[in-house]
Amino acid sequence: MIPSFWTAVFVSGLAAAVLSGLVLMVLALARSQSPVAPINATSQWLFGPRVASVGDVTVAETGVGLATHVASSVLWGGVTALAARWLGAERTGSLLLVGLGVAVVALILDYGLLPRRISPGWHLVLPWWAVGIGFLALGLGLGLGAGGALGRG
């Protein structure tokens, strides 16, 4: 696989992690919650649902949550890069659609098919509509990141 593929994986995943993380922080603040609550909640796969009550930045909850959020975003960046290659998507607009499609798949897997314990945990601190906005931001980040790495216009 050519370097631009791996560049797309990491740029797409990191863009998705940053954009969705920022959006989740803003959504938490809008609900008068700690901005790190959604990231801490992502560590629920290890610490259980009690992390929903952790509003401070901690080495354990925030560190594990952030590492999990970035790693899963890079994984979805890989899916985005593979889907873009398979579909022949090269333009920024089509890559954006691929990223949004991958985010829909991620949402279905994370909140429809997989056990709730290994979901992102955002549902522990945010309402369903905000979780949806978080996945929308993930998809936009995936597509924009892939567009920056692979896009040709």
Per-residue pLDDT in tens (0 to 9) along the chain, 153 residues: 445 888 889 999 999 999 999 999 999 999 999 999 999 999 999 999 999 999 999 999 999 999 999 999 999 999 999 999 899 887 888 999 999 999 999 999 999 999 988 999 999 999 999 999 999 999 999 999 988 766 555
pLDDT of residue 1: 45
pLDDT of residue 152: 55
pLDDT of residue 3: 55
Q: Is residue 25 packed enough to be buried (19+ CB in 10 Å), middle (13-18) or exposed (0-12)?
A: middle
Nearest Cα residue to 119 out of 59, 63, 51:
51
* Inter-helix orientation angle 92-108/128-150, to 10°: 140
